A and B are shown apart, each in its own frame.
Chain A
Amino acid sequence: MATFYIFMFLPFFSALLVPFLYKYLNRQIHTGWFVLLAPLSILIYLLQYIPSIAAGETYKFTLSWIPTLGIDITTYVDGLALLFGLLISGVGALVIVYSIFYMSKGREALHHFYVYLLLFMGAMLGLVFSDHLLVLYGFWELTSVSSFLLIAYWYERKSSRQGALKAMLITVIGGFGMLAGFIMLIMMGDTYSIREIIAQVDVIQQHSLFIPAMLCILLGAFTKSAQFPFGIWLPDAMEAPTPVSSYLHSATMVKAGIYLVARMTPIFGGSSVWFWLVAGVGIITLLYGSLSALRQTDLKALLAYSTISQLGLIMSLLGVGSLAVYFGPGEQGTVFTVATFAALFHLFNHSTFKGSLFMVVGIIDHETGKRDVRYLGGLMQVMPITFTIAMIGAFSMAGLPPFNGFLSKEMFFGAVTELAHVSTFGLESIGILFPIIAWVASIFTFVYCMIFVFKTFGGKYHPEKLTRKVHEASLGMLFAPMVLGLLVVLIFFFPNVLGKYILAPALTSVLPMMPVTAYDLKISAWHGFNMELLMTIGVVVIGFLLFKSAKRWVRVIRNYPQELTLTHLYNIALPAMEKGAASLTNRYMTGSLRHYLSYIFSFFVMLLLGSLLLLYGIQFDFSNNASISLFDVGLVLVMIIAALTVLFTNHRVVAIVALGAVGYMVSMFFVIFRAPDLALTQMVVETVTTVLFLLCFYHLPKLKKDIERIPFKLTNLIISLAVGLTVTILALSANGHKLFEPITSFFENAFELAGAKNIVNAILVDFRGFDTMLEISVLAIAGLGVYVLIHQRSKRREHDETE
């Protein structure tokens, strides 16, 4: 168990060492050689699992992390996880070999590069081996972050930064959606473990959160795997160094979404929404990617769109394969099990040929300084080995024998033609569309593969267009694509070795309900004269004719208006959102105190008055009221008149004196309400305040008549009346209700408890002395504040005078 975790976290440990190795040893030995040890040892370790996994065993390990919350790093090794683990470590090792020769030892910041790359590798391994949903999410985000760092590796370039930002925004939005979906799954199944959720799938399918959870998780999968319409980040991510494009954006990270869909198939498969979304979006992506690839002149952009297209193919196969869950074991179920098998097979094939194709483009770029097909041509004689590898990869992508892409494309055609015979999920009417779209997209795929090979390597050699003297790449650089190209051919001739030991156990993980024997035979039945072969011949013939006449029609596609693309939509949507947010904020954050006070008062009124009205809180009870004497009415009238004088006067002194009058009236009220201490304090404080006002007003400007417009006054009037009304109603409703007896009688023991005869004073200094202490501090702080404000001014004035 511990061994497994050591290997799983090996990339992270190695990432810690890289800066030291770079600092002390890079001058002698390229840092990549040390880094290579990590994926190689992981690959060798994982290879040992193949026999037992193929025999149907699975392994579960648990590493305690936050046991009180039930969060442990639970890993589960089965066929699917192992397939991905082998791809990640295997392609990872080859990419590092390639990068050793691609990335210059002297010019590049290799310590950054390899730290990010190892971080990504570790995150990806954690992602595929995790059984715990939240841990899976954690690794998922780590792949987004490390991919962001890698895309922006040449951070001094603007396009790199923009590509990284775009990839980050889109994949993180999807990641959040996925987290929401995971949380819903956890709520439905009451467990964090994917396997335990699969075990109670019957309950979950009846749950009301089933569809929302599915949609959220699919959002995550589609954004990560660059499905339509979220694929726009992938072409921009081509600003990354080519080893990164080869590793992340063809072989591993973009397949994380595929992995997620495959992992979730036992839970969500069998539902019509799942089928339509996965298969439908996949097939649209296939067509969209292959059409867009035709428009590109940059080889890397062409490969990016072809990756989108191929990922769509795999996704649609997974969607078609989910029908097997619906039909269950039986003849029809077996047919669609083969579709899932084809998805896994093409997943593996795509990693091999796309990885090698990216490396080929990197070599061309490295040797010629250009990667635009308009400048290239005739490289066949100059770079024969590169040409051979490119041809193997591209023909495999086009689906030609004798390469592995041929096998998986045949199986793809077989699966989609089968859809025409299905009579559920509304497929009887439009099921026929699937094979047609797939066939058309395959023709486009064939054409862009031919463009890739023959525009670059065929035709005339134009050395005058190129900046460098072209020659064949070094053997070290060619090593990794050669291995991948060899795999492409080997898999064609011996597909069953791969099928039996790696793909069959992976299929069992995706469709655990299907009996193994049903499809065991189908794997070897890869040749024969049938419908699929006819379709492939059609693809080749029509594709060849289209390629020959490319000059005439390719202009039509290239002239497709830039304004109608999804990238353009993204480019205008982002500034529009920023502008919208800014204008919204500027509209209500005006900087005017009055506006803010209006919001506060309006909210206060709405909340209090609203709850009083809605909760039937308005009940008046006047029975306990004290009597009113004429003297009281007189005081009230005087007070209101004084207050109105403050309001209406234009004279400063009058306002201050009227305010003083209000204050003295208050102290008169304290007298008649039998509060001698209050009356005394109020009188003194009011006197001091009035003096203070009079002192200040000398320095303040005249209280001019405000030149305010009528609406300004009117809204103020409405707000202030509403506030007064709310307070009145609230106080009146509260006044008549006495829920508990007051605790005043306790304080009437002031003499026994505190030795005081004045109850108020006893409360202030004895029972509740704390309040008084803090109140004294408030006074002291205010005094200091006043002192500092005045003093600072005089100091600055002195300062100004001296200058």
Chain B
Amino acid sequence: METLMILLVGVLISIGTYLILSRRLLRIVLGSSLISHAVNLLLITSGGLKTGAAPLLSEKTKQFTDAIPQALILTAIVINFAVTALVLVLGYRAYQSYGTDDMEQLRGNEYE
């Protein structure tokens, strides 16, 4: 199962990287969202999969799944949401100000 998950993560990261390298602003945001999903999955995979019950003490069992990656991912999801929201609004504002979402046209190296 872990191997399968890691392969999935690899595929998601490849797709996300390809999207990030493209020219459209919206695609870049989509790509970064995909990558963050992949990272969250990788985090939970690293704690070991399907080894016990959900980490709730009311479960009458000896073995729970690893709770630490879950706590980390929970934090990561929220932060990622905040960043995505901000980047989306930024992209929206950039489009409003410059009239384009093409990153090649948004280059900042020429001071006209």
Mark A residues whose CB is within 8 Å of B. Answer: 589-594, 597-598, 601, 622, 624-628, 632-633, 636, 639-640, 643-644, 646-647, 652, 655-656, 659, 662-663, 666, 669-670, 672-678, 681-682, 685, 688-689, 692-693, 696-697, 699-701, 703-704, 706, 708, 716-717, 719-721, 723-725, 727-728, 731-732, 734-735, 742-744, 747-748, 750-751, 756-760, 763-764, 768, 771-772, 775, 778-779, 781-783, 785-786, 789-790, 793
Contacts and interface: CB of A to CB of B under 8 A. Distances in A.
Contacts of B64: 744, 748, 759
Given A622-B3, A659-B34, A700-B95, A673 B12 contact: no
A681 to B, nearest CB: 5
A590 B77 contact: no
B71 A685 contact: no
Given A643-B15, A696-B91, A719-B17, A760 B10 contact: no
Interface residues of B, number: 88
Interface in B77-112: 77-86, 88-93, 95-96, 100-101, 103-104, 106-110
B77 A594 contact: no
A600 to B, nearest CB: 10
A721 B14 contact: yes
Contacts of B19: 646-647
A633 B7 contact: no
Interface of B: 1-28, 30, 33-34, 37-38, 40-42, 44-58, 64-68, 70-71, 73-75, 77-86, 88-93, 95-96, 100-101, 103-104, 106-110
Given A700-B25, A731-B9, A775-B78, 12 more contacts: A597-B20, A626-B1, A652-B26, A655-B27, A659-B33, A678-B73, A678-B74, A682-B40, A716-B22, A742-B68, A748-B57, A779-B79
A703 B27 CA distance: 8
Nearest to B51: A626
A238 B8 CA distance: 74
18 contacts: A592-B107, A625-B2, A632-B1, A633-B4, A655-B30, A663-B33, A674-B65, A708-B22, A723-B14, A723-B17, A724-B11, A724-B15, A727-B9, A731-B46, A735-B6, A744-B68, A760-B70, A790-B93
Contacts of B95: 699-701
B20 to A, nearest CB: 6
Given A689-B84, A744-B66, A744-B67, A677 B74 contact: yes
A601 B13 CA distance: 12
Contacts of A704: 24
Contacts of A764: 71, 74-75
A699 B25 CA distance: 13
A591 B6 contact: no
A669 B41 contact: yes
Given A626-B49, A772-B75, A775-B75, A793 B14 contact: no
Nearest to B44: A673
Contacts of B96: 699, 793
A677 B70 contact: yes
Contacts, number: 270
Contacts of B40: 666, 682
B71 to A, nearest CB: 4
A782 B96 CA distance: 20
Contacts of B4: 628, 632-633, 636
A719 B21 contact: yes
B21 A701 contact: no
B88 A693 contact: yes
A632 B3 CA distance: 12
Given A646-B19, A674-B54, A589 B37 contact: no
A624 B27 CA distance: 38
B75 to A, nearest CB: 5
A771 B75 contact: yes
A765 to B, nearest CB: 10
B68 A747 contact: yes
B96 to A, nearest CB: 7
Contacts of B89: 696, 785-786, 789-790
Contact of A594 (B33, B42, B55, B103): B103
B7 A673 contact: no
B2 A735 contact: yes
Contact of B81 (A628, A673, A688, A703): A688
Contacts of A625: 1-3
Nearest 6 Cβ contacts at the A-B interface: A591-B109, A724-B14, A728-B10, A782-B82, A720-B17, A591-B107
Given A646-B15, A647-B19, A719-B21, A626 B74 contact: no
Nearest to B90: A789
Contacts of A785: 86, 89
A626 B63 CA distance: 15
B9 A676 contact: no
Contacts of B23: 594, 706, 708
